Amino acid sequence: MRRDAATAGPVLALVESARIQFHLARRYPMMIVLNVVQPLALLAIVLQRTDNGPRALGELLISVLLTCYWGNIIWTAGGVLRRDRMSGTLARTLLNAQDGRLIIVGRCLGAMVTSLVTLAITSAAVLMVAQRPVELPGPAWLAMGFAGVAISGTALGLLLATALLHSRHGVEITAALMYPVFVFGGLLVPPEAVPAALRWLSWLISLSWARDFMVHADWLAGLGLILTTAAYVAIGARLFQRTLDLARKEGTLDLV
Amino acid sequence: MSERLWRLNTAHRMGWISFFKEYPPKILALTAIPRVLLQSAFFVLLAGVVGGFAAEKFALIGVMGTTMTIFTVTSICDVPILEAQSATFYRHRVGIVSPFAALMCRGVPHAVAGMCAATLILSAVAPATGHSGLVTDLLAYFPIYLLMAVTCTIGGLTIGVLSSPSDNQVLASNLYGYLILILSGAVIPVERLGVFGDLGMVLPMHHGVAAVRAALAQQPWAMAVLMEVAVGALWITLAWASVAYRVRLARVRGAADHS
């Protein structure tokens, strides 16, 4: 018999939240845009170059995956609470028997894993149709890299989902957050293609470290991924507490 | 001013009011303008990564058109959708100005915003990516971009009307925008698209972008402009038919709006 998530342990609450988000994500139209349409468009552009060897193609593929994954972080995970507010279920998400952070983390994790799996399927299908040989990093590097990316995306999801509650223009802000990382994140556009004074911006983006970790098998980049993710967690948790204070103590933020 | 013109102008003013509700000046400055600049810069730089400086130049000409879709497709789709969600479409059905004319008037701000986006790209992204030489050349062919803004707005409005009764408006508008980006020959040369290139011929911007490229290469471009006008006529017919269909459905089903 399944125990009620409210009275059960944190692990069950986390799993149930992830499961709920998985079901919600399937009905979210942006999922198709971000995980099928956008990777198809970007792959159509980068596959124009036919002189790429299997290794270079593998690097491009990982860059496309991570670029599209950024879109998933901001729209799918970052929009978790914004959509809850629209549906009138925000207060139930944030204020229940379990810590609200746990619920959001579970839901962001569900969204991120769903996105990664869908993106991988789309990319594999495109490469099969294009019949281009591709050489990917070893399975251990890929497994560690994508596990790190899922955790980092979840941490960023907590941060963005909470931050976007503070504005009524969440959709416009989310749309504006997309391309700064596309350009300055060091993913598809190499850092040397942007002005030297702005290259440091990619250091703030965990996906940039994750790319270097997987593509160059660089442990130092792995450390960068861990540090940026830890920073997202710390800022996200602090912002969450501040948001709850505004809603419950100071009464200046609507939860419905 | 005749009474009919006054009514159309009122619908047009409503369009501006709702546009600035969606994009208040602060949101416009902090989100929409950076998005225009960075989205266009991304596709220009990506083209450069794939094909070098020549590919960047090629992409810049196209991206000036396709970046307009932020306003001429994605945001204009919200116009009929908001009417449906707010249950206000019946007001248009019973009004003196036809629903089709009212929606067209309300699309004007989005076409203007699209042209402002193209101007921004020309004045900021072109010099920043090392293509200052293109600025004066492209300025001469700005009327063609204006035509593309109009055809694309009509296309976006049609997609909004067709998708508004369902929950798929986000998917429809984004899919339409990406189809224009990829199949218009903006960033990928049409000859590399194979059979998909033919599909792009019925989409806005395909012929307009081709006309600008031909004009820059000192080749005949008038026919491509006429083809863009023809595509615009096709989409305006489709827009009219889809609005008429929605109105008829609302009357037959007795619904107050077209949801």
DSSP annotation of A256: -
Asked whether this complex has an ipTM greater than 0.90, the answer is no
CB contact under 8 A, A29 and B167: yes
Task: Note down pLDDT in tens along chain B; length 259 residues.
Answer: 688 899 999 989 999 999 998 889 998 999 899 999 999 999 999 999 888 888 999 999 999 999 999 999 999 988 888 887 777 877 888 888 888 999 899 999 999 999 999 999 999 999 999 899 899 999 999 999 999 999 999 999 999 988 876 778 888 999 999 999 999 999 999 888 888 888 889 999 999 999 999 999 999 999 999 999 999 999 999 999 988 988 888 888 766 455 4
pLDDT of residue A6: 53
Q: pLDDT digits over B231-250, tens only?
A: 999 999 999 998 898 888 88
pLDDT of residue A255: 65
Q: CB-based burial of residue B28 (10 Å sphere; 0-12 exposed, 13-18 middle, 19+ buried)?
A: middle
**Cα(B66)–Cα(B148) distance, integer angstroms:** 9
User: What stretch of H or E contains B128?
Assistant: helix B126-128
Look-up of token digits 């991206």: B63
Q: CB-based burial of residue A201 (10 Å sphere; 0-12 exposed, 13-18 middle, 19+ buried)?
A: middle
Residue of A27, A33, A75 to mutate for B, most B C-beta atoms under 10 A: A33
Cβ neighbours for A143, distance < 8 A, ≥ 6 positions apart: none
pLDDT of residue B259: 47
CB contact under 8 A, A173 and B181: no
**Cα(B240)–Cα(B98) distance, integer angstroms:** 10
**Cα(A3)–Cα(A21) distance, integer angstroms:** 19
CA distance B177 to chain A (A): 10
Given CB atoms, is B10 within the 8 Å cutoff of chain A? no
Residue of B178, B190, B193, B195 to mutate for A, most A C-beta atoms under 10 A: B178
* A29 closest CB neighbour out of B42, B168, B188: B168
pLDDT of residue B1: 66
**Cα(A221)–Cα(A95) distance, integer angstroms:** 37
Residue of B44, B168, B176, B182 to mutate for A, most A C-beta atoms under 10 A: B182
Q: pLDDT digits over A1-57, tens only?
A: 455 555 568 888 888 888 988 888 877 888 899 999 999 999 999 888 777 788 888
Structure pTM?
Answer: 0.89
CA distance A128 to chain B (A): 18
Each domain of chain A, given as residue ranges in start order, spans 2-250
Residues of chain A with pLDDT below 70 are 1-8, 255-256
